[in-house]
Structure 1
């Protein structure tokens, strides 16, 4: 999945609503209601944040750049581990220290450090699983957080509408045109609540969910590769074992010996769009 696909889809969704509003009314001016937007967006964020701890909230914020940043893919991770194992078999433990600096992620660097420190293979597998479980929990909390915001947004839209209607009724002595205008602006709050919930917060939550599924595949690769490297398995065995964890379309590609790339090439290809 392209790293920009979610942002493009969000923009298209909001653009579609704007276009429909313009075609229906001949104007989109009524959509611009700063007060309603502030109540819907600000209120939803505050309500969701109230149910999170400061630490979890900070972790979720730190994950936001991952929505558009380059992410390692399973195929490149497998190739990196094979190249690492090959160099280790040829050059010894010093090769692992060199590959730590080329790790595609902080987690991979930490796992390889476990191997370089000479821990028992079973202990390395246990430590790796604990490390990756902690990382997965961060994604799960982010998913829950944004789904919570999506749940609050329509309600905050209703709050904005009620405030707008109360304001309109309180100024009943004004002209009918002004009164109708205020009522229209009031209902735009409900619209913003629905739009942000369905075209902003839920897509972000779904994007994190897709990233979590991809991360789980990579996590399984890390656990198995760390165990194989620590136990001194041959690069060929490592290749076959890691291939079984890849999607069917990528298994043969990894097993193809002609597709093996040098360690320097692996470092340059561990990320994708």
Structure 2
């Protein structure tokens, strides 16, 4: 689990509470149910109204995935593809069907089964790219949904403040309650701005980043599977795929699994060649 989003939200809200305490305010005075219900309910309703119900449900279901997201080690995918290339060169493409049974990732598993079944390379590329595009579209839709929530929440908060101030003006005959009423009125604006910038927009950004990372992985897997199908030499494939990874994912020179320029191909691959 990557705690960046959840930890960041906790730190941001903690900073707000610390400021309130240092200013001598009671943080509990900010937890007023009426403005919170208006801000969260109103913003959520507006966001749902801006899209379709299935997309809204799918976007809300992305929250646990965003919070519990675990970074994928692309280096392991490269190692897997290089191993598959060695098997394909030694035993043929039909041997990939048995290897596919041990792979848990559905995207890679399906692609290997199609390779073993003899699917044309162009058709395989189109199928893999279409599947990746569908997954990316879902992530973009969810990120847009939370971006919309972040845009509606402050405005709904202002509406809550206007409604509360209207109620204050209706009770000017009771000066003793004006201070408390006015302070409570601005809590709606506070929650609108707070929820937008400390909850909804960070979650949308998180989902957008997850989608980018998944898209990069799909691209690498597509190129790797097509190279395996074409009979690529394992060492060359390793160098090609590692070149597609960010610097932080590449093994250091001399490390186990690092592609070495000019290195000899594995004996099994040479024998198969």
d(CA) in 2 for partners of 1:28, 1:155:
23
| CA deviations over 1:65-110 (Å, ceiling 9, x no partner) | 3211324232222222222333344454564334434435332222
5+ unaligned residues in a row in structure 1: which ranges?
Answer: 261-273
The CA deviation string for residues 101-122 of structure 1, in whole angstroms up to 9 with x for no partner, is 4435332222223223221112
Matches within 5 A, 1:1-273: 3-67=2-66, 68-93=68-93, 95-103=95-103, 105-174=105-174, 176-253=175-252, 258-259=256-257
Structure 1 Cα separation of the partners of residues 234 and 243 of structure 2 = 15
Cα 1:172/1:102, change in 2 over 3 Å: farther
Tell me how large the CA RMSD over aligned residues is: 2.3
Distance 2:230 2:162 in 1: 66
| 229 and 58 in structure 1: CA distance in 2 versus 1, 3 angstrom threshold | farther
Cα displacement string for residues 20-76 of structure 1 (whole angstroms, at most 9, x for unaligned residues): 122223312320111111111111111011111123223323333321132423222
Mapped partners of 1:105, 1:28: distance in 2: 46
User: Unmatched 5+ residue regions in structure 2?
Assistant: 259-273
Deviation larger for 196-205 or 92-101 = 92-101
What residue number does 1:264 align with? none
In structure 2, the CA distance between the partners of 1:168 and 1:249, relative to structure 1 (3 Å rule), is: closer
Q: Output one character per residue of 1:108-163: Cα deviation in whole Å (capped at 9) or x when no partner.
A: 22222322322111211111111111111111111211111100010010111112
SS of 1:232's equivalent in the other structure is coil
Distance 1:157 1:183 in 2: 14
CA distance in 2, matches of 1:65, 1:88: 38
**Does structure 2 conserve the Cα–Cα contact (< 8 Å) formed by 1:84 and 1:95?**
no
Q: State the TM-score, normalizing by the size of structure 1.
A: 0.85
* In structure 1, C-alpha distance between the alignment counterparts of 2:242 and 2:46, rounded to whole Å: 45
* 1:72–1:104 CA contact under 8 A, matched in 2: no
Does the Cα contact within 8 Å between 2:94 and 2:117 map onto a contact in 1?
A: no
**In structure 1, C-alpha distance between the alignment counterparts of 2:25 and 2:62, rounded to whole Å:** 40
How many Å separate the matches in 2 of 1:177 and 1:117?
81
Q: Tell me if structure 2 keeps the 8 A contact 1:30–1:184.
A: no
Which has more radius of gyration? 2
How has the CA–CA distance of structure 1 residues 192 and 249 changed in structure 2, closer, same or farther, with 3 Å as cutoff? closer
Q: Deviation per CA, 1:171-221: give whole Å up to 9, x if none.
A: 3334x3333212211101101111111111111111122222222221220
- Does the CA-based 8 Å contact 1:228-1:238 persist in structure 2? yes
